Amino acid sequence: MNEVAPLAGVRVIAAEQYGAGPWATMLLADLGAEVIKIENPRSDGDIGRYVPPYTSDQDSIYFQSFNRNKKSITLDLQHERAREVLHPLVEASDCVFNNLRGDLPARLGLDYESLGPVKPAIVCCSLSAFGRTGPRAAEPGYDYLMQAYAGWMSITGEPDGPPQKTGPSIVDLSAGATSAIGVLAAIMRARQTGLGCDVDVSLFNTALSELAYVAAWHLSRGYEPKRFADSSHPSQVPSQSLPTRDGWLVVMCAKEKFYVELVRIMGRPDLATDPRFRTFSDRLENRDALVPILKGLSVQKTTAEWLHLLRGHVPCAPVNTVEQAFNDPQAAEDGLILDIPHPDFGSIRQVASPIRMTGTPTDHRRGPKLGEHTDEVLKGLVGWTDKQIEQARRQGLL
């Protein structure tokens, strides 16, 4: 079978930095899109290049984890000559992507109103903190702030502890994935109709949308979310972490049969017929009575012993460290770890795209050096000569 990247022939111009935006375009680049990353020469490029602890000359392992398979050019979008480069790139591309502050795309000429006349089929995607309209459009925003704004932290953590954020930057990553979906949908429509559009995604809206069923309960019936001990599910009992002799075990009794199997394997089949615990509703009402009993049973064996007994009968998992997670045989089976050569770091080991598609090339390139492809792109897509490029550099455009 000849390997063909599913997004081969798609070109994205990306004015992006840090996490959410680069994550979105890396998802596209992993699937074969040509992503040309615009970096500001006045600010030494993407701030992600300088995130510690592992840095090199204008590069970091953080940056590499968001920017593989891309090209980089330097271009000052605020320069009076910026359109001389931007507009020819737009004519040769399918999408102009940015993750700037919500008020900046229009000001910098990156929205559809500005670029539609240059190419009617262009898709202009803006991934911002609060969107391009509304009272907070001009505010910057980050994952930590959105977890607070959207109520996530109020329902995360132990009941008596301080509010907690999730470990990874889930809002950034989710908003990036969401905007990638929006870009692909808009490009598909543009290729059918010849007309592009604006695609707006915000961290705030993404975080609110991912409250999902909790939001529906609250908006429909006035449900007041709260924190539960042991990372427990709000309504399915028991679905939580349980202590073991040497660590922690997570069980998920999302069906009645799983609860029956759990208590049978734990040596207390009578708990399945106890009137207090017979149904989902019964267990929810009597959570405080059931959970201490289960904890008293779970601490009698090690995590490994429980996994051996429960797997195939009750959905369960160990609470792994990051090291243990990557040592899981499933990670090796799926080829999730990439080893990409790098001139400064020797090699960068990072996580592959979770999307698996047969007939897709599996080669990957390191994230680009700052402005590494400027000359190549300007000569190939803009039609500039070496002399024009050198002059533009002297003028501070590149």
Q: Which residues belong to the active site?
A: 172
- Are the beta carbons of 230 and 291 closer than 8 angstroms? yes
What is the spatial distance between Cα 375 and Cα 43, in angstroms, rounded to a whole number? 19
The C-alpha angle 297, 301, 306, rounded to 5 degrees, equals: 95
- Are the beta carbons of 175 and 111 closer than 8 angstroms? no
Backbone φ, ψ for residue 255 (5° rounding): -130, 150
Q: Which letter, b or e, does each residue of 15-38 get, where b requires 16 or more Cβ atoms within 10 Å of its Cβ?
A: bbbbbbbbbbbbbbbbbbbbbbbb
Q: Is 78 helix (H, G, I), strand (E, B) or coil?
A: coil
Longest dimension (CA), the chain: 85
